[in-house]
Amino acid sequence: MVALNWCKKQKKGIKLTEPNENLCKEYIINAEETLSILQDLKGKSNMWLATTKYYCEYFTVYALLMRLGIKSEIHDCTIELCKLLEKEDLLPKNTHIKLEKDKQLRIDNQYYLKNIEVKLNFSELTEFVLQVKKSINSLTLDKTQDIRNKIK
């Protein structure tokens, strides 16, 4: 796993930007669209199921990052940010573990064609999206600034 300090030094790593509610909403829309696609994939393709499940989770987390004004184009750095956001009660506990596991499953099935079975609990994934949306909607300016200061 990478460290936040390493991520901040990378060209496409962690950068503070202006909080962007429009991009936040777009990423949530993408996560919700991905949820509906997942229903159609169940039992058809482990490769696409793994990929779609991971991106549903990733888009959801990235929506929160956009709302906070945090850009991260390196997936490992985004996952590392999850640890901080979990401590701040903005993400459910162990989100970083779930993302890391599902990222690896996606890589194994998509790039190495391992065809590993994907365990999908649709209601649990839907609840994850809803929990993060609730966190996004409850964010205050003070909380946003506090998290941004911790990243600086």
pLDDT in single tens digits along all 152 residues of the chain:
579 999 999 999 999 999 999 999 999 999 999 999 998 998 899 999 999 999 999 999 999 999 999 999 999 999 999 999 999 999 999 999 999 999 999 999 999 999 999 999 999 999 999 999 999 999 999 999 999 999 99
> Can you list the domains of the chain with their CATH numbers?
19-145 (1.20.120.330)
Count other C-beta atoms under 10 Å from residue 71's C-beta. Answer: 19
Q: What is the DSSP letter of 10?
A: S
Separation of alpha carbons 70 and 14, rounded Å: 7
According to DSSP, the residues that pair with 50 across neighbouring strands are none
Residue 123: per-residue pLDDT: 96
**132 within 8 A of 64, measured Cβ to Cβ:** yes
Residue 43: per-residue pLDDT: 85
Separation of alpha carbons 37 and 136, rounded Å: 23
